[in-house]
Amino acid sequence: MMKKLFFLFCLIISNLYGYENEKISHLLIGGGIDNISKPKFRTGECYLEYKFSYELHKFRPLLGVMATWKGACYFYGGLDVNMIFYHHFLLLPGFAIGIYHQGNGRDLGYPLEFRSSIALGWQFNNFSRIGVMYYHISNAHLSEYNPGMESLVFFYGFAF
């Protein structure tokens, strides 16, 4: 319930403040800590994400892949909201759905997983970006076993 309220709050804020409709795509590369809330399963991760320039009612489509040092992979697609305050500060709430492959990593209970994320960052004058993202992956109780996982990653986004 709190996630839904937070996402709704972000959408309302995006309608009130500093939204800029730039037609720029971004390629984000990043790395960080996977399973940040569970030290027993904690490992490193890297990710690559493409955010399309196309927008539909302030939502931008995205495609990405995440891989952990233990061989787990997550291929996903989704939407985010591109909110820019004072021409530089970024707030990027998002949602995605994807396929998870366990490898030697953590069992998440089901191959179909959902990701909710929030990113904070800075956009430079050339539209490249730097920031930090926190996200949660869960199978939304599609199976009885639904441990979920959280990650904290840092990113740099190339604009083109």
pLDDT, one tens digit per residue, over 37-52 is 888 889 999 999 999 9
Pairwise CA distance, residues 107 & 104, whole Å: 9
% of the chain beyond a pLDDT of 70: 86
Confidence at 129, pLDDT banded by 50, 70, 90: very high
Helices (H) and strands (E) in the chain, counts: 1, 9
Pairwise CA distance, residues 61 & 129, whole Å: 17
Which pLDDT belongs to residue 19?
46
Which pLDDT belongs to residue 55?
85
Residue 138: count of CB within 10 angstroms of its CB: 19
Neighbour-count burial of 30, counting CB atoms closer than 10 A to its CB (0-12 exposed, 13-18 middle, 19+ buried):
buried
Across residues 90-96, what is the average pLDDT? 96
pLDDT, one tens digit per residue, over 69-87 is 999 999 999 999 988 888 8
pLDDT, one tens digit per residue, over 23-35 is 789 999 999 999 9
Q: Does domain 25-159 have CATH number 1.10.10.10?
A: no
